[in-house]
Chains A and B, each alone.
Chain A
Amino acid sequence: GQQLNQSPQSMFIQEGEDVSMNCTSSSIFNTWLWYKQDPGEGPVLLIALYKAGELTSNGRLTAQFGITRKDSFLNISASIPSDVGIYFCAGPSKNYGGSQGNLIFGKGTKLSVKP
């Protein structure tokens, strides 16, 4: 079945650093979504991508829809302490009914602050 592979699994950041993470799949996606989840909370939608090659920003966050439609990237510039959390990529699943399929998620990239 479809799977989304996120890397890295975890990373430590120092305030002010830029952060990059990615999400890959063996299947083609027509939408990529990036969410951030804080402990004990629901995922919050950060960026939605709908077209191959699309580059979209939301403040210090920038995400790209890969040309092959099998990957997506999220960059955070000049990180701050509140960027800590788990970042999930997600895409519509073909397992559950086709074009309006529900979302499958990667396992997340956990961002922590360097001690």
Chain B
Amino acid sequence: DAGVTQSPTHLIKTRGQQVTLRCSPKSGHDTVSWYQQALGQGPQFIFQYYEEEERQRGNFPDRFSGHQFPNYSSELNVNALLLGDSALYLCASSLGGRQTQYFGPGTRLLVL
């Protein structure tokens, strides 16, 4: 049973650049949520995708956008990167938007 996978594992970018992170949900899941985790903090909700649409969004600026594909995989895009965007980006999947979510290993983004 394949778990949640994310790519890449690590990424280094400079301020102002754009980045795309990818996520494949756990087998059988159809909902993908993205979280940002700063060092020493708990994950913070960015947005959730279900049926290829953004269903809910947290308190993140429009520089953060996403997409869900027909196979339920998802991308997170961040434009005009700021130093403060450096964090671990986590993808979580669930079935039908249920509250029990399973996380991937994350993508560590460093913005210089």
Binding site for B on A (CB under 8 A): 4, 31, 33, 35, 40-45, 48, 88, 90-93, 95-97, 100-108
From B43, B98, B105, A41 is in contact (CB under 8 Å) with B105
**CB-defined contacts of B105 to chain A, threshold 8 Å:** 41-42
Tell me how far the C-beta of B2 lies from the nearest C-beta in chain A, rounded to whole angstroms: 14
Q: How many residues of B contact A (CB 8 A)?
A: 28
From B33, B97, B98, B103, A35 is in contact (CB under 8 Å) with B103
* Chain B residue with the shortest CB-CB distance to A38: B105
**CB-defined contacts of A44 to chain B, threshold 8 Å:** 103
* Chain B residue with the shortest CB-CB distance to A99: B99
CB of B33 within 8 A of CB of A102, answer yes
B65 within 8 Å of A (CB atoms): no
Given known A-B contacts A96-B57, A101-B56, A102-B58, A42 and B106 have beta carbons under 8 A apart: yes
CB of B99 within 8 A of CB of A92, answer yes
From A4, A40, A42, A100, B99 is in contact (CB under 8 Å) with A100
Tell me how far the C-beta of B53 lies from the nearest C-beta in chain A, rounded to whole angstroms: 13
